[in-house]
Structure formats: C-alpha cells, structure tokens
C-alpha cells in the first residue's frame, strides 16, 4: 500500500525540528561529524524517516545555515529600532552583532566557520542561505549608506560596511577562540575605530559616552 502523501504543514514542521536539532549537531561536530542517522537518533525517528523530508545532509546543512542567518538578520534589524542618529545606529548594529555571537554561538559558528567539502552539489536551500546572508549584511550596508548620504561619514558605503563587518567579526572570532576575554571584547567593541577615518567631524562627547555602554 503506497504511503500517504506528505502535507506541506507536516514537511515544514519536521524540517523545523530537524533544523533545530542539526544546529547543535553541526556546531558540536562539524560538517563531516554529522550523519543523517545521528539526526534521526536526535529526533527519535527511524534512520530513513528523515529522507522523506530532506534530500540529505547537504540540504540539511543549508537549511541550518539559512536559519542561522535569518535569526542573525532579525537581531540586527531589531537593534537600531527608531534610532535616527546615523553613528549611533551603526554602533547599535555593531553591539547587536556581538551580542548575537555571544547568545547564539552555535548559529554564529555555523554561519562563519563551518563549510561543506569542495564539490558538494548545490541544493534549493542554498538560495535561502544566500538570500538571508545578504539580508543580514544589507542592514549594515544600508545604515552606512544613510550615514554617508547624511554627511556623517565620507567614503564608499560598501567598503566602510565591509570594514565594520570584518573588524567586528575579528573581535568575535578572537573571543570565541579563547584569545580575548569578555571584558576585553566589550571594551574593544565600544571603540568605533573602524569609523574614525571616515567621519566628517570629530565625535562629540555625548556620542563617545554612549558608545561605551
């Protein structure tokens, strides 16, 4: 007797459970250390059940990365709120970036440290990874562009955004690798050295005080 066709809601629910479980597995064991059987054990289902909902580990990993970037983007989007000062908005984004890495270290590691082996076939879920990662970076790029257009910064918006992103990522990576204490991370994160060379005027005392919170 043929199996009943899976309903969209059932597929979505299983994939959400699988993504949550696999987030921990990939962060703990890396890409090569995770198997579909390990996922099945984590979910309490048979070894073949996962293949009804997922094409394999490559798609599973893409789903996990897309979810990690989605949550990261949401955190960045929520950070600035209604802040109108362009520099303060950028500092809020920087702090939100760091806080996300502290609160969701598994997701952060999967986003930036774990990669699939060369030669792995692309999956439909890879498009979601690309979309969500661009969305996350877009919040920073848009904020920098607004600061340039408003006259607070001078320079190429994309280059400045990449510099801010790379510098913040470097601080987080040093902390997660045990090369930087939490206190040092917080102190360095409060210094907006990435923007210093692009400011059109020196930071005010008020701006400097707020940036160290």
Residues 160-206 have pLDDT tens digits of: 999 999 999 999 999 988 999 999 998 888 877 788 888 887 655 44
- % of the chain exceeding 70 in pLDDT: 90
The whole-number average pLDDT for the span 30-56 is 93
Asked if residue 13 is part of any domain, the answer here is no
Decide if pLDDT at 63 tops 70. yes
CB distance 93 to 79 below 8 Å = yes
The whole-number average pLDDT for the span 129-133 is 95
pLDDT of residue 202: 63
CB atoms within 10 A of CB 206: 10
Tell me what the pLDDT averaged over the chain comes to: 88
Asked if residue 147 is part of any domain, the answer here is yes
Q: What is the CATH number of the domain that holds 153?
A: 1.10.357.10
Asked if residue 45 is part of any domain, the answer here is no
The number of folded domains in the chain is: 1
SS (H, E, C) the chain: CCCCCCCHHHHHHHHHHHHHHHHHHHHHHCCCCCCHHHHHHHHCCCCCCHHHHCCCHHHHHHHHHHHHHHHHHHHHHHHHCCCCCHHHHHHHHHHHHHHHHHHCHHHHHHHHCCCCCCCCCCCHHHHHHHHHHHHHHHHHHHHHHHHHHCCCECCCHHHHHHHHHHHHHHHHHHHHCCCCCHHHHHHHHCCCHHHHCCECCCCCHHHHHHHCC
pLDDT of residue 110: 94
Asked if residue 176 is part of any domain, the answer here is yes
pLDDT of residue 203: 59
By C-alpha distance, which of 148, 142, 126, 151 is closest to 77? 142
Asked if residue 100 is part of any domain, the answer here is yes
Range of the domain at 129: 58-211
pLDDT of residue 117: 77
pLDDT of residue 192: 77
Asked if residue 26 is part of any domain, the answer here is no
10 Å CB burial of residue 105 (0-12, 13-18, 19+) is middle
What is the value of pTM for the model shown?
0.85
pLDDT of residue 162: 95
CB distance 60 to 122 below 8 Å = no
Decide if pLDDT at 9 tops 80. yes
Asked if residue 89 is part of any domain, the answer here is yes
Residue 119: which pLDDT band, with cuts at 50, 70 and 90?
Answer: low
pLDDT of residue 207: 42
Q: Give the least confident one: 9-18, 117-126, 189-198.
A: 117-126
pLDDT of residue 212: 34
Residue 155: which pLDDT band, with cuts at 50, 70 and 90?
Answer: very high
Residue 120: which pLDDT band, with cuts at 50, 70 and 90?
Answer: low
Residue 109 has which token pair? 């590691």
pLDDT of residue 211: 39
């Amino acid at each position: 007797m043929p199996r009943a066709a899976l309903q969209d809601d059932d597929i979505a629910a299983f994939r959400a459970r699988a993504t949550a479980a696999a987030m921990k597995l990939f962060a703990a064991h890396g890409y090569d250390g995770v198997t579909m059987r390990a996922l099945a054990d984590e979910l309490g289902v048979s070894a073949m059940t996962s293949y009804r909902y997922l094409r394999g580990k490559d798609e599973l990993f893409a789903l996990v990365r897309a979810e990690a970037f989605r949550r990261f983007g949401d955190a960045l989007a929520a950070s600035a709120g209604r802040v109108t000062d362009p520099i303060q908005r950028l500092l809020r984004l920087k702090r939100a970036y760091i806080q996300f890495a502290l609160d969701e270290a598994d997701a952060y590691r999967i986003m930036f440290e774990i990669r699939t082996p060369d030669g792995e076939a692309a999956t439909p879920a890879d498009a979601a990874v690309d979309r969500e990662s661009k969305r996350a970076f877009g919040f920073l790029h848009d904020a920098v562009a607004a600061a340039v257009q408003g006259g607070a910064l001078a320079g190429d918006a994309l280059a400045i955004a990449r510099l801010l992103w790379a510098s913040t990522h470097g601080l987080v990576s040093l902390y997660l690798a045990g090369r930087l204490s939490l206190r040092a991370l917080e102190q360095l994160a409060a210094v907006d050295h990435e923007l210093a060379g692009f400011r059109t005027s020196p930071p005010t005392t008020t701006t400097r005080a707020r940036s160290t919170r």
